[in-house]
A and B are shown apart, each in its own frame.
Chain A
Amino acid sequence: MTRASTRLGGLALLVLLACLPLLALPVPGVLPGYTYEPGTLQLLALCWLTAALALSYHLLFGVAGLMSFGHALYFAAGIYGLAIVLDRTDVPLLPAAALVLVGGVALAFVVGAISLRVTGISFAMVTLAFAQAGNVLVRRDQGDLTGGEEGLALATDGVPAALVGVVNTRNLYWLALAVLLVVYLVVLWIERSRAGHMAAAVRENEVRVRIIGGRPYLTKLVVFVLAASLATVVGMAYLLLQSGASPATSTADFTLTLLVMVVLGGVGSRWGAVVGAVLYTLLDQRLAELAHSEAVAGLPAVLRIPLSEPMFLLGTCFVLVVIFLPGGLAGAAERLAARRRPGSDRDGSGPAPGVPAPEGAVA
């Protein structure tokens, strides 16, 4: 496949997805109803936003090789930041969003500057600790700002009417798709920019980058802040879609599910991150439905208990993929394509490097 035909295919897919709210396609077993129904559109929009978030994590983990366990912090910052600004002030949506984005960038800069002082596993733990602090703040509900465990409902005064209510789900769907497209293009742009190449070089061999005069710390910080800002943007769209903020989005488990999506799709592959996120969201939703179905309720306890826990099935799937399918879905697809066309080159859709080598690994 040439690069031009890949692009054409992508464009056709985008047009099809954009037209979904106008069509009445049933996809039995995958979607809960026809594609124009609000329930289906809500689920699909959730898929697109999750995919956008997974892409921002891909930038961090796949491109720069930074395994962060605290990416949820910036997502939650977008959600709660916008929810609080809309709740407490009369600022309209767009200026409020700009304000929150500035706040998100500042937060990412400070946390990134501190946590990037360590590398590898320690970095993962430090980001986890900061995200945990954010989670504690959100749950503690200081000054009635965040609503504690119950979360915060979206104050709709400043939001345009076209983005409020079940009737307008299709507008939110288009917003979500637009966010995914923008995030995809930004990630693509960063990956092809000098900073992106530098980040990939740092991932592969940090010492070497330093020797040839590069500045690994600065490069990593730039990528960290960019990925976090994208997460903040996705978070704001997520607030509009869900019309509320919930503390679950700030937990460490939420970041772990992002990691699961990216690894499931294939580390280092943009499409892998998107496919992994969409697959994960759909599976999560369908498995939850399976859990409450009568077919499962009638089974003996040995089968019923595992089957009624979606997270158990997803976690098990994830472990199996890590052990038996290195490179995730993208890696498997590539191997399959290579087998079908022996001797041919890999297509131009960007290489899918393996999982980055850990820093400080004992040889």
Chain B
Amino acid sequence: MSTLILLLATGLGLGGLYFLVASGLSLIYGLMGVLNFAHGSFLTLGAFVGLAAGNLVGAGTWGGLLLGLVVGALTGAAAATATELGLIRPLYDRHIEQVLVTVGLSLATVALFEGIWGPNPRNVTRTEWLASTTDVLGAHVPNTAFLNVLAAAAVLGGIVAFLRYTRYGLIIRAGVENRAMVTALGIDVRRAFTLVFAVGGAAAGLGGVLATQSLNYVSPHMGASLLIFAFIVTVIGGMGSLTGAAVASVVVAVLQQLANFYLNNTGDLIVVLLLALVLLVRPSGLMGRPA
């Protein structure tokens, strides 16, 4: 019983990380039709810069972590905004080229990160509380899981509130529904594009710093490995659906944890099988609009 609780809790924590990456991917795809391969690089950059900023205050302190999270999110947002303005916008409405540009960017930036910070993972110093566990019904749940779930819930709530109660949120929602109509009504959707990229980048940067706390290391490749699962989550949840991404994050991560424990470490394969199954039954994903 306690093992099951532990697996569910760590699964939820991992799901929180997946959601932080997948939410941006899903929003960007929903509004712009761009599959952003460079999203993993926003995450990695956010993690490295955020940790460096946190270390200025003090590695392993709450102040350092808080500053790291803020700086990580800002870095991710800045990198994403620069990418949108510099590389995506010139290729307006040429979706394949936009994907290709982000592919090139991800290859180049991962190599650059390797050059700057070295190819090997580096250990990070965590606060005492984050490095320990909490007893929940007999299971020793790592405290990072709580932090991840909290952050993911906050980001989900924040994005939903932003989409529902602000003018830009309205434009974005309308743009996802029917971009041509929004443009025809005289609203500049392009500013919304930049904004969506910035929000997605911020979530990814935040996810990057959180991932270093859960994994206990930071490496130039952490973005790429999280990105693949975020892709799977986005497809299973339905491209462009935020709620779908949230549900799929939890399902995928929990299933992965359970399979890793009970089925001889086959979590990654089970997830791919789940993807195949979802596509066979519902090609548009759990909550995507039917094609």
Q: With A125-B35, A129-B275 as given contacts, are A355 and B108 in contact (CB-CB < 8 Å)?
A: no
B16 nearest CB across to chain A (Å): 21
Residues of B within 8 A of A312 (CB): 108-109, 111-112, 115
Are B103 and A256 in contact (CB-based, < 8 A)?
yes
Pick from A257, A259, A309, A362: contact of B179, CB under 8 Å: A362
A110 nearest CB across to chain B (Å): 9
State whether the Cβ of A185 lies closer than 8 Å to any Cβ in chain B.
no
State whether the Cβ of A121 lies closer than 8 Å to any Cβ in chain B.
yes
Within 8 A of A (CB), among B250-291: 265, 268-269, 271-272, 275-276, 279-280, 283, 291
Within 8 A of A (CB), among B73-90: 87, 90
Return 11 A-B CB contacts under 8 Å, by A number. A117-B280, A122-B283, A125-B35, A129-B231, A256-B106, A310-B111, A312-B108, A319-B105, A322-B97, A323-B90, A355-B96
Are B228 and A129 in contact (CB-based, < 8 A)?
yes
State whether the Cβ of B57 lies closer than 8 Å to any Cβ in chain A.
no
Are B111 and A309 in contact (CB-based, < 8 A)?
yes
13 extra interface residue pairs, beta carbon distance < 8 Å, beyond A358-B96, A362-B93 = A117-B283, A129-B272, A252-B224, A256-B103, A260-B107, A305-B112, A306-B115, A309-B112, A312-B111, A318-B104, A322-B97, A323-B90, A355-B94
Are A132 and B268 in contact (CB-based, < 8 A)?
yes
Residues of A within 8 A of B106 (CB): 256, 315
Residues of B within 8 A of A124 (CB): 35, 99
User: Which segment, of B64-72, B120-128, B193-201, B232-240, faces chain A?
Assistant: B232-240
Residues of A bordering B, CB below 8 Å: 67, 114-115, 117-119, 121-122, 124-126, 128-130, 132-133, 136-137, 140, 252-253, 256-257, 259-260, 263, 305-306, 308-316, 318-319, 322-323, 326, 355-356, 358, 360-363
Pick from B91, B99, B179: contact of A121, CB under 8 Å: B99
Are A319 and B232 in contact (CB-based, < 8 A)?
no
Q: With A126-B279, A136-B269 as given contacts, are A315 and B107 in contact (CB-CB < 8 Å)?
A: yes
CA distance A94 to B114 in the complex (A): 42
A63 nearest CB across to chain B (Å): 15
Are A311 and B108 in contact (CB-based, < 8 A)?
yes
Chain B residue nearest to A304 (CB atoms) is: B115
Q: With A136-B269, A360-B33 as given contacts, are A121 and B228 in contact (CB-CB < 8 Å)?
A: no
Are B104 and A125 in contact (CB-based, < 8 A)?
no
Residues of A within 8 A of B95 (CB): 121, 358, 361
Are B228 and A128 in contact (CB-based, < 8 A)?
yes
Residues of A within 8 A of B272 (CB): 129-130, 132-133
Within 8 A of A (CB), among B170-204: 179-180
CA distance A68 to B271 in the complex (A): 19
State whether the Cβ of B56 lies closer than 8 Å to any Cβ in chain A.
no
Are B33 and A319 in contact (CB-based, < 8 A)?
no
Interface size of B as a range = 35 or more
B110 nearest CB across to chain A (Å): 7
Residues of B within 8 A of A326 (CB): 97
CA distance A309 to B115 in the complex (A): 6
Are A318 and B269 in contact (CB-based, < 8 A)?
no
Residues of A within 8 A of B114 (CB): 309
Are A128 and B269 in contact (CB-based, < 8 A)?
no
CA distance A125 to B39 in the complex (A): 14
Chain B residue nearest to A252 (CB atoms) is: B228
Q: With A318-B104, A318-B107, A361-B33 as given contacts, are A114 and B276 in contact (CB-CB < 8 Å)?
A: yes
Are A315 and B275 in contact (CB-based, < 8 A)?
no
State whether the Cβ of B137 lies closer than 8 Å to any Cβ in chain A.
no
A127 nearest CB across to chain B (Å): 11
Q: With A319-B101, A322-B97, A358-B95 as given contacts, are A363 and B29 in contact (CB-CB < 8 Å)?
A: no
Chain A residue nearest to B103 (CB atoms) is: A256
Q: With A309-B114, A309-B115, A312-B111 as given contacts, are A128 and B97 in contact (CB-CB < 8 Å)?
A: no
Pick from A132, A133, A323, A356: contact of B96, CB under 8 Å: A356
Pick from B100, B107, B268: contact of A253, CB under 8 Å: B107
B115 nearest CB across to chain A (Å): 4
Residues of A within 8 A of B115 (CB): 305-306, 308-309, 312
Are B97 and A260 in contact (CB-based, < 8 A)?
no
State whether the Cβ of B1 lies closer than 8 Å to any Cβ in chain A.
no
Pick from B100, B107, B231: contact of A263, CB under 8 Å: B100
Residues of B within 8 A of A256 (CB): 103, 106-107
Are A260 and B228 in contact (CB-based, < 8 A)?
no
Q: 1/0 per residue B144-180: CB within 8 Å of A?
A: 0000000000000000000000000000000000011
Chain B residue nearest to A114 (CB atoms) is: B276
CA distance A126 to B104 in the complex (A): 20
